A and B are shown apart, each in its own frame.
Chain A
Amino acid sequence: MTPSTRHCTLAPVIANREVAPAIFEMRLRASEIAAAAQPGQFVHLRVKSGLDPLLRRPLSIGAVEGEHICLLFRVIGHGTQLLSRVVPGETLDLLGPLGNPFTLHADRPAVLVAGGMGIADMPLLARRLREAGCPAIHLIFGARTAAELAWTDRVEAEGAQIHTATDDGSAGHHGVCTALLPPLLREIDARPAICACGPEPMFRAILSAVTDPAIPIQLAFEQRMGCGIGACMACAVETSKGYLRACCEGPVLDGALLR
């Protein structure tokens, strides 16, 4: 990450709509952030000015369209509740783009694995892979239920083949999405690169399913965060190299560090 690409800016909200039950897509105009954003990076966003909530929220930069960025979030607490009520015309205080992005291994097939809101990283990642000439892109996407399979269309639009799983069996494989990984790896006749974003049990399942060291695995962590710029040490992720900061060394970490 080149530090000089980081910006603190007031970004006008262009749209904010519920794309799945309690899942919102927000579009903001933030030209400098849009121009600098790389897949896996995030913006650190103030839900509102004032003292409550006090801290910023990290959200993946899910897609970039011209000078717009698109974010995907699920309403889970006070902050995201407020964020869901933001209407076009309001401005939000953004800091970004922040964090270590995905490395693009565009010379080989890509397998993207998204669990739940982990899909928020995938449209921009798929686009940059396609632009870099990646020979094939697969998305394995697991959600609780069919209605929560948001943004599948965005990834599909980048030429990705979609493989879904749901906890309740309402779409795709009935069960966890990582069950789809071994058969897909057998089907692909080259060593792919794996990029994943989701909960830690999903990461563990990927690491135990894929033991070939010639298959690079990158994992994007979602962690409670303080400053987002590496100063407060709040967002520690435990790795074989000790604690690393999700905001600086991460959010994208080499899977080998998590074995």
Chain B
Amino acid sequence: MSMDVRLDVDLGPLRLKNPIVTASGTFGYATEFEDFLDLERLGGVALKGLTLEPRAGNPPPRVAETPAGMLNAIGLENVGCRAFIDQKLPPLRALDTAVIANISGFSVEEYAEMAEMLSAAEGVDAIEINVSCPNIRTGGIAFGSRPEMISEITRAVRAAAPGMPLLVKMSPNVTDIVEMARAAVGGGADALSITNTFLAMAIDAETRRPVLGNLTGGLSGPAIKPLALRMVWQVHRAMPEVPICGMGGIMTGTDAIEFLLAGATAVAVGTASLITPSAAVDVLDGVTDHCRRHGVDNIRTLIGALET
């Protein structure tokens, strides 16, 4: 008989039934995946990044494949915060999984306005502040590489949505990820999502042109896993008390375990969901299997358990 493994974790005030969530931008508004997996098996779902107004996104091509990875420059195409609340949120309310709304603003005021709208809407369990989208010209990454902006945005969202669990999704395109992480925590973040995509480029030598319509894009997939692991480990070592949702190229349960060992409390499955729609539950099964094989009866004992 297989042993029971206790899987629930606390991402700050946000209790997850297990440490597996989906990564924003790779899971649509969740219902797209209902044919392929049971959403209620997941710890949570982080949904497509929202802006205050609807956005059409970038000109195509929007994706490029690279060895063990992909570049995307979608440009935050989304229905807008109001339509999200009215149309996308209702089918998720009845689900027994944490709903994490991801927000991007072009000003501090926009972040605060969205946070207020989302905390007033029934069914949002946490807000993830995106200060790290590499594919829009203003805001996004421009905010995510300036510690004082990260603090200010986080403080504004905290004030607009008191009591709402708050994650800040960090940009890896910075000199010192720990400095940015401190700024987010200083502004009132409950937890950190580490990491967003790496600013990158693909070039077609035949046509002498960039592959992406946006010229540059964000690199994700297994190619970035070692980079993301290092960043999670650095931040955890500097601030072991701050819960981290680790992400970057997680394809298997073993990948997820590696992030937990590096110090992540939860992990997000991203690009893998674009390849195998059931990837997030496959990762969960892999994590559970790993725990059984190693006699781990509580997943929390693996968090930060890296032996150095």
Query: A residues touching B (Cβ–Cβ < 8 Å)?
Result: 3-4, 6, 8, 46, 51-56, 79, 93, 95, 223-227, 229-238, 242-243
Contact = CB atoms under 8 A, between A and B. Distances in A.
Contacts of B65: 53-55, 79
B204 to A, nearest CB: 11
B63 A234 contact: yes
Most buried by B among A231, A235, A243: A231
B57 interface: yes
User: Per DSSP, are chain A's interface residues mostly helix, strand or loop, or mixed?
Assistant: loop
B15 to A, nearest CB: 26
Interface residues on B, range: 35 or more
Given A233-B74, A237-B60, A243-B57, A46 B275 contact: yes
B5 to A, nearest CB: 26
Contacts of A3: 34-35
A26 B51 CA distance: 44
B26 interface: yes
A8 B278 contact: yes
A233 B32 contact: no
Contacts of B63: 55, 224-226, 232, 234
Nearest to B36: A8
Contacts of A225: 63
A28 B183 CA distance: 54
Interface of B: 25-28, 32-36, 48, 56-57, 59-65, 67-70, 72, 74, 77, 221-222, 251, 271, 273-278
Given A229-B32, A232-B274, A233-B74, A238 B60 contact: yes
B61 A56 contact: no
25 contacts: A8-B276, A51-B221, A53-B65, A54-B68, A54-B70, A54-B275, A55-B274, A55-B275, A224-B61, A224-B64, A226-B70, A226-B72, A227-B28, A227-B273, A227-B274, A231-B32, A231-B33, A231-B48, A232-B74, A233-B57, A236-B57, A238-B59, A238-B60, A242-B56, A243-B60
